[in-house]
């Protein structure tokens, strides 16, 4: 059985799409939740200053922490993106492995990344 390039490309696209369909909504949801929390924090700091519970030294601490919240959020987002890139890459490679194994009738190195057909 030979390799059908057209269907192989479609299978690879399908593997990538499956990963993205699962991961992109999760990344979007996390980002929206974090941005809302960061915006809320700015409001809470202002409320604390207004009600007298946050003194100047504590206000400075919270403002520095607000910047750190934003940077740590972006740092986390980069980490999540790396995981998605791994799943995307291995999913596509898995399809290739599956197609080769199917075409040759061999199963020398089953794909570890999944997605093989």
Partner 1 sequence: MPTLVRRGGLLALCVALCAALSACMVQLAPAYDTTIVGGLNSANQDIHALFAQIGTATTPDTFSARKPQYDQIVAELGATETQIRTRPMPSSAAIKKAAAALARMHVAGVAVDPNFTVYPSARAVADLKDTIQHMEAADEKTGLRGGLLAAFQNQAETFLTQAMTYENYLKR
Query: Which chain residues interact with partner 1 by CB under 8 A?
Result: 26, 30, 33-34, 37-38, 40-41, 44-54, 58, 61-62, 65, 67-83, 85-87, 89-90, 93, 96-97, 100, 103-104, 106, 108-109, 111-113
In whole angstroms, the minimum distance from the beta carbon of 14 to partner 1 comes to 18
Closer residue to partner 1 in complex, CB, 13/112: 112
Closer residue to partner 1 in complex, CB, 9/67: 67
As given in the structure block, the two tokens for residue 51 are 């009600």
Sign of CA dihedral 13, 18, 21, 24: negative
Which residues are within 8 A (CB) of 90 and not within 5 positions of it... i.e. 6 or more apart?
111, 112, 113, 114, 115
């Amino acid at each position: 059985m030979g390799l059908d390039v057209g269907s192989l490309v479609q299978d690879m696209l399908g593997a990538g799409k499956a990963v993205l369909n699962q991961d992109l909504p999760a990344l979007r949801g996390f980002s929206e939740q974090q941005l809302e929390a960061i915006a809320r924090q700015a409001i809470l700091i202002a409320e604390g200053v207004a009600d007298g519970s946050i003194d100047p030294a504590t206000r400075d601490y919270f403002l520095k922490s607000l910047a750190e919240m934003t940077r740590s959020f972006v740092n986390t987002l980069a980490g999540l993106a790396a995981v998605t890139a791994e799943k995307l890459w291995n999913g596509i490679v898995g399809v290739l492995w599956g197609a080769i194994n199917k075409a040759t009738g061999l199963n020398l190195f089953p794909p570890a990344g999944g997605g093989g057909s």
